[in-house]
Structure 1
Amino acid sequence: MTGVNDANDGRPSIPEETGSAAAAVSGANATDTEETLGSGSAGANDVRDEAAQVADPWTVDPWEDDDILDGYQRATVHLGPDTEGADGEAVATFVRKDPAKLGLIERLRRLRLRMLGKPLAIMYLHGWNDYFYRRHASEYWESMGVAFYAVDLRRYGRSYRPGETAGYIEDLHAYAAELNALRDQIVRDLGDDVRILGIGHSEGGLIMSLWANRERPHHVHALALNSPWLELQGNTTFRLISTPVLKGFLLAGGKTPLPLNDPGFYGRTIDKATGGEWDYPSSLAATGAQFQPRAGWMQAIFNGQAEVAAGLDIQMPVLVCTSDRSMMQGTWDEAMRSCDVVLDVTAIREAALKLGDLVSIARIRGGIHDLTMSRPEARRQYFGIVTAWGGQTAWRTFLPGPAVQAALRRL
């Protein structure tokens, strides 16, 4: 699936589904497909009733003004004791646009969806060496009445504290605390009728896949993964060959730095100063978090990718979007501005088929590693596909065509 059609309703075309449930989707209406597609929330009421009897293992501070994105708010999440945490605890950070600063049209569209009993939301998860700053992505969804929430994981971005090891984790499943807490925050803010679409980028796509598979999160009805890091560059064989080398570094301790060289090509495709379109601050510039790949973190990635390779059973529709090609070489080429220079998109698409029974795959022509930051034509294609697919799967309602087309033009 590569483009947006010219249908009068403004809905982008939907990528073909793969897997055993695909035939059931193609001829069914939104009401009839509720059970066929699955939502990840079967038995959710029982789960919530049981969970309500146990106090959450985290606490969330009140929303306050964000000091990185003007007009946005942040809320610190206290996740409990952590020897790596600078203050003896792990913290994460939720980010949203300040509801008081939404425009009139945005508020009316949110109100309309709420009155229809269909409040919609997105929960977004960043990748490695990253944090949430993509204002243009948030405001695309907010302009159509879809509430957008993001989380900076522990030791990333706004959640990083001086003295911590930026981005370090030894088990990707530990991030379930952040994601469960964010899901619950969205439900508190928007009500029990909310339908959530999870969006994960790169490492965040891997983390969100593992979370959805193990946790079966209620209120989250579909996943849309943006260049998810489901497999190592190359293929599974390359990861297996690399494992003994990694274990050698682990003998010196999990925080042993790995000699992985970043030539900076991806940053060059993004930053306005080097020919890109964006002037968002880097994680280091915005928060002081300086990232270095380490053996324990890499082992956590390998373990997560091994779970995917063995086959997950995600009980909700999954969309995997990638660029149409990769370029990973030692010298700069201007063609890198329209391809993935970080991950092997072929390996991603092959691994994606092991996520569950209903997986859709979309190739974005000319997309870069973060498809939301691609050149205009490619990023509009990406947002258009996710919008239409999310309407069919996560939300069971299509956003108005004129509003979608207007939002796409602003990207």
Structure 2
Amino acid sequence: MEPAAPPPTSPGWVPDVLPGFEQRTLDLAPDFEGDVVATVVRRVRPGTADGVPDARTDVLYVHGWTDYFFQAHLADFWERRGVRFHALDLRKYGRSIREHQTPGFVTRLRTYDEDVEAALALLGHGPEVESDRRLVLMGHSTGGLVLSLWCEHRPGRADALVLNSPWLEFQTRRVGRMVLEPSMRAQAALAPKRHLINVDLGYYVRSVSSRFDGEWDIDPAWRPDEGWRATPAWMAAIFSGHDRVARGLHIDAPVLVLLSTRSTTPLRWSDDMMRTDTVLDVEGVARRTVQLGPLVTLCRVEGALHDVTLSAAPVRDVVWRELDRWWRAYAPPPAAPPEPAPEPGPSRWRRWFGGRSRPATAGGRT
């Protein structure tokens, strides 16, 4: 028997590398390296799970450093709740990277505002559009930092923000930033694209990739085992973002931060790396969460990896439960518009007397 043909894609979309998904390329303004694009990914049949009522809510997910969207199970989570899910591969990442480009390279994080705006316009949430659907933004690691700053720049646009292990602080915290930042800025001015020493030994990929000890199918061409070597200009942009968070943001939407309870320094492999964050200093990040805005919920998940949604199945169950509880409390589906009131029917007397006037009696009583 021949395998069933994949469902047809929508106009303007092409089949994606993920089965059952499609992608659309968004042309952005060229930079000094030439043409630039971002890529939006969604189900071939966009919408909600079969039989689930539409929650009139849209989610846009943004990945982290040296990463791309492959978490189909995250789309499953949202769609089972009636939410329409889209993911964005930023410029020079994953589906959006081109041969002439330096992977992940930008000189300021606000550059990504164009990518996010282009994706939101495609979803029907452009700055000039009055949508009757809620907008939930979800970012992982560097994507969490990018979306936090985007929400700060554009108040009132998002109804909620979900941050999955957001990179809100450097691993050596404020003191490390103060020591390293002057040198990094000097290097950014002299040799912005020079490769820095790579400190990624591949332990995080080992914990998540099915080619090693993990369970997820990850493309090493888009997510190299030992990551990409960062550049001074990009690192200076990250430091600027961390400094902005440290001075305090004013995000006007409710924020959920999902974070592991522990970090493991990735110097030598240990089994602890299968149940801790080996990328960020989770205590430093946790301290920064209160500076995001007036309404922030911090959820620390025991046994979680850096991407909490890639953790072991029992840990993921905790993540889904807490995310569902928070979403229903702080970003529930908007109330359906009231149905128009029915036209008033004939009164009891009009029904009895065929539309004739009510009979009068002495004293005006009937």
Coarse TM-score class (shorter-chain normalised): 0.7 to 0.9
Counterparts of 1:27-66 in structure 2, within 5 Å, are 63-66=12-15
Moved more, 270-279 or 366-375: 270-279
Deviation of 1:226 (Å): 0.3
2:234 maps to amino acid: W
Deviation per residue, 1:111-147 (Å, 9 max, x gap): x33xxxx411211000000111111111222233211
User: CA 1:305 to 1:148, structure 2 compared with 1: closer, same or farther past 3 Å?
Assistant: same
What secondary structure, in the 3-state scheme, does the structure 1 residue paired with 2:263 have?
coil
**Where does residue 90 of structure 1 map in the other structure?**
36
**Where does residue 228 of structure 2 map in the other structure?**
291
Q: Is the 8 A contact 2:162 2:256 kept in 1?
A: yes
Q: Is the 8 A contact 2:198 2:228 kept in 1?
A: no
Counterparts of 1:9-408 in structure 2, within 5 Å, are 63-85=12-34, 89-99=35-45, 106-109=49-52, 112-113=53-54, 118-187=55-124, 192-218=131-157, 220-284=158-222, 291-396=228-333
Deviation per residue, 1:338-379 (Å, 9 max, x gap): 000000000001011111111110001100000010001111
Deviation of 1:62 (Å): 5.2
Deviation of 1:251 (Å): 4.5
Deviation per residue, 1:8-58 (Å, 9 max, x gap): xxxxxxxxxxxxxxxxxxxxxxxxxxxxxxxxxxxxxxxxxxxxxxxxxxx
Uncovered stretches (5+) of structure 1, i.e. residues with no partner: 1-60, 399-411
Q: Is the 8 A contact 2:57 2:333 kept in 1?
A: no
Uncovered stretches (5+) of structure 2, i.e. residues with no partner: 1-9, 336-366
Q: Is the 8 A contact 1:131 1:283 kept in 2?
A: no
What secondary structure, in the 3-state scheme, does the structure 2 residue paired with 1:211 have?
helix
Deviation of 1:261 (Å): 2.0
What secondary structure, in the 3-state scheme, does the structure 2 residue paired with 1:96 have?
strand
Deviation per residue, 1:287-332 (Å, 9 max, x gap): xxx8320000000000011000011111111111110000014111
What secondary structure, in the 3-state scheme, does the structure 2 residue paired with 1:284 have?
coil
**Where does residue 17 of structure 1 map in the other structure?**
none
Moved more, 381-390 or 195-204: 381-390
- Which has the bigger relative contact order, CA under 8 A and spacing at least 6? 1
What is the TM-score when the length of structure 2 is the normalising length? 0.83
Larger Rg: 2
User: CA 1:300 to 1:279, structure 2 compared with 1: closer, same or farther past 3 Å?
Assistant: same
Q: Is the 8 A contact 2:56 2:333 kept in 1?
A: no
Aligned-residue identity in percent = 35
**Where does residue 51 of structure 1 map in the other structure?**
none
User: CA 1:359 to 1:281, structure 2 compared with 1: closer, same or farther past 3 Å?
Assistant: same
Q: Is the 8 A contact 1:107 1:145 kept in 2?
A: no
Moved more, 365-374 or 134-143: 134-143
CA-based RMSD of the aligned residues comes to 2.3
Count of aligned pairs between the two proteins = 322
What secondary structure, in the 3-state scheme, does the structure 1 residue paired with 2:87 have?
strand
2:20 maps to amino acid: G
What secondary structure, in the 3-state scheme, does the structure 2 residue paired with 1:274 have?
coil
1:91 maps to amino acid: V
- Counterpart CA distance in 2 for 1:147 and 1:251 is 43
User: CA 1:197 to 1:381, structure 2 compared with 1: closer, same or farther past 3 Å?
Assistant: same
2:176 maps to amino acid: F
User: CA 1:121 to 1:251, structure 2 compared with 1: closer, same or farther past 3 Å?
Assistant: closer
